[in-house]
Amino acid sequence: MSRIRLNIFGLSSGQSNGSYTLILSEENGKRKLPIIIGGFEAQAIAIEIEKIVPFRPMTHELFISFCKTFNVNVIEIEIYNLIECVFHAKLTCEKDGETYEIDARTSDAIALGVRFKCPIYTFEDIMETAGVIFNDDIEEELELPKPKGVDYSAQTIDKLNSMLEEALKNEDYIKAALIRDEIKNRKK
């Protein structure tokens, strides 16, 4: 069975409170694979995509440090099954020329995969079952959710820097990304 390489297309707030939709796109096609994930996992993925440095190491950074300490490299992520609407994934790791497969939640596997910059794969039967083709407006919908009642454009740079420091200290990385983006926009 041939594998299909996937890339992270976007991350969107989900229908229910605290959930997010991670959208993967096939590398050589138009189909997208939406996966519902929790808020913590979405934050872990967003932190790496947005290149935010957490105030303290998070669980995924701890795993990376562990792997580097013991010369383990994650070489790929594979979403290998879909059972009752739950995706199953595994990490393929390499140590001393030997490869090992480790079962993982798909969201955790991808959070680690982006940190190791390794490819993500799935199979045609999974794409046939769960893959969708979105309309062209989907990119506009895939933005970090903005906290209600906060207008960062009305804040001074000093206030934004203070808010950024506070958001990082509180490990609110989505808020930190939004504040950082506002600061970057003003420097242009």
Cβ partners under 8 Å of residue 184, min gap 6? none
Q: CA-to-CA distance for 181 and 183, rounded, in angstroms? A: 5
Burial of 125 (0-12, 13-18, 19+ CB in 10 A): exposed
Q: CA-to-CA distance for 8 and 171, rounded, in angstroms? A: 23
Report pLDDT for 113.
Answer: 94
Q: Average per-residue pLDDT in the chain?
A: 85
21 Cα distance to chain centroid: 10
Residues 170 and 118 in one domain: no
Residues 87 and 158 in one domain: no
The total number of structural domains that make up the chain: 2
Start-end of H helices in the chain: 39-50, 59-69, 106-116, 124-130, 138-141, 157-169, 173-187
Taking only the tens place, the pLDDT of each residue in 160-184 is: 888 888 887 776 777 777 788 788 8
Burial of 180 (0-12, 13-18, 19+ CB in 10 A): buried
Residues 47 and 122 in one domain: yes
pTM: 0.72
Report pLDDT for 166.
Answer: 83
Taking only the tens place, the pLDDT of each residue in 83-95 is: 988 999 999 999 9
Report pLDDT for 43.
Answer: 84
Phi first, then psi, for residue 146 (nearest 5°) are: -90, 130
Residues 96 and 21 in one domain: yes
Residues 34 and 75 in one domain: yes
Contact (CB, 8 A) for 42 and 160: no
Residues 160 and 84 in one domain: no
Residues 152 and 125 in one domain: no
Phi first, then psi, for residue 136 (nearest 5°) are: -70, -15
Helix axes 39-50, 59-69, angle to 10 degrees: 60
Residues 124 and 168 in one domain: no
Residues 115 and 38 in one domain: yes
Taking only the tens place, the pLDDT of each residue in 108-163 is: 999 999 999 999 999 999 999 998 887 655 554 555 455 555 678 888 888 888 88
Which residue segment(s) compose the domain that 27 sits in?
3-145
Residues 42 and 92 in one domain: yes
The CATH number covering residue 135 comes to 3.10.690.10
Output Rg (C-alpha) for the chain, integer angstroms.
18
Residues 33 and 112 in one domain: yes
Residues 80 and 165 in one domain: no
Degrees, nearest 5: CA angle 32-33-37:
135
